[in-house]
Structure 1
Amino acid sequence: MSGRDDYGDIFSGHARAAKRAAPTVAAEPDLVVEDAASGFCGAVVGFDRGYDGEFVKLEDARGAVRLFAMREAAFLIDGAPVTLVRPAAAAPERSTRSASGSTRVHGLRARVARSSRIWVEGVHDAALVERVWGHDLRVEGVVVEHLEGLDNLAARLTEFGPGPGSRVGVLVDHLVTGSKETHLTTGLGPHVLVTGHPFIDVWQAVRPAAVGIAAWPEVPRGEDWKTGVCRRLGWGTPQQGWRRVYESVETFRDLEAPLIGAVERLIDFVTEPAEP
């Protein structure tokens, strides 16, 4: 018999001789595995990442925690080799509530705009209303427009012509007894509803805690309120201050109750069915 093997390894290439890949297993919390090299057995309690790859933290029955590289077939479950991988991140649950606290309508397509409108004094008022109630307004088909100053209200109402199917709700800053704002918003007829809040500016209707301050500073009469606030808080320009205010508002919980109630009443008013 020659020393040369004319047949080679007759089992090479046979299915039974091929090395089977270790199954991949998600390293869910509390999964118990054994490190094949050291015999350390423990439950998954966390992960770490180094320059040379991913590591899993295992805690044994005595509370000892060790790190092990998550290499192929490096662990055993019931004596069988497995390859551990990080579990897939759970998909975030879709919120069932909108920023205003109402039930969110998923897959919403904005309805055709109503004839009725909500008017606010300025751009900042409109932006905060949209940030919190935008979902509700699209569900109801309500458009919010800003007046660029309450002095324009009478002319805008004359142009618009409110009626049973074309109501107007007006949100007003600093609506307190005896104020200029109160005088400008009385006697406007049954198809116009004016609501508001007592704060000097809509910024002040944002809770101080939401913007990270203890309280809104006092600004003397005659001094521009936004400029005075920004100077006292070190916020820079009013434009920079507005970004702070706007970005701090995520839900109705970041607003003061008078503003919340005022906007809710306006939405109810302009979405009431017209009487036949």
Structure 2
Amino acid sequence: MWHHPPRVWNEFLARCKQENEQTIEELSYLHSRSMTILLALKRCSLLVGKDARPRKLNEVMKQVKATEKKGTESWGDIFKHVKASEGNEATSKLVLHIVGADYREGNSAAETLRVFEQLIAAFGHVEQLDHGYTELVLVLVGPNVEQRLHGTVHTSPIEGTGKSVRLIYGSEIWSSYLAGQNYMVPSAIFCFNAGVWGYDEWIPAFQLMMQEAIHTPIIITSYNALEASDDADCLEDIEIPFVWRWKHEPNPFLCLKQRASQHTLADRVLKENSCWQCICATHLK
């Protein structure tokens, strides 16, 4: 499944015969996040790990000049992040930040492993061609992450594969996680059902993400097309240059189970990850 992920839920259902007792709505509620991530990684050319390489010197110097001008970061801080970036690539980790995480991503390590079980299984049990990653790192960050999980790290082997999955929790905003000791440079950032239109904190966060990890795609999902359009309008307020990897569109792996709400009009119905869009500081490498 890793190298050739299904494109729609019916394809997924055909591959998961052991779960055919569950309805497609139930399966989509369980696995929408996993399959959204897997398809996004394919679109962003991240299914296969790249060789370890340091960040180019001119990129470092650009960051030095920008941060010195703002007086927000020291040389030591800059090269700490550069070193962390090199370390991530050298050890072949696929690091995914789930920003704005809450109970839907799990209130315990066991629950989180369950939420992302399809992603973890696909990562571990690759077909003939290995993807080159040795560890899948899921960083769950947000003020609504279960407080007792804050700062904890859980590592588990993926049985029979020689690979592992690591869970890192931060009950805090992303900028606070960035400054902490558990920070790992992301390969991709996912913001599920972010509600960018409703929270002023998102735009500064996206700007910081793109300054910190210029090649990292940021995938944002919404409950319906109207919210996705509103999110896109807000994203245009970002004050640094960025590119659209793709503009808002229906997500093939939306949750088919309707979320309880007061809305009855078809275009106002809430379904998790109904639409998605992707921004980044740079074009695909």
Superposition TM-score tier, normalisation by shorter sequence: under 0.3
Q: Which is bigger in relative contact order (C-alpha 8 A, separation at least 6)?
A: 2
Q: Larger C-alpha radius of gyration, 1 or 2?
A: 1
TM-score, reference length from structure 1: 0.24
TM-score, reference length from structure 2: 0.23
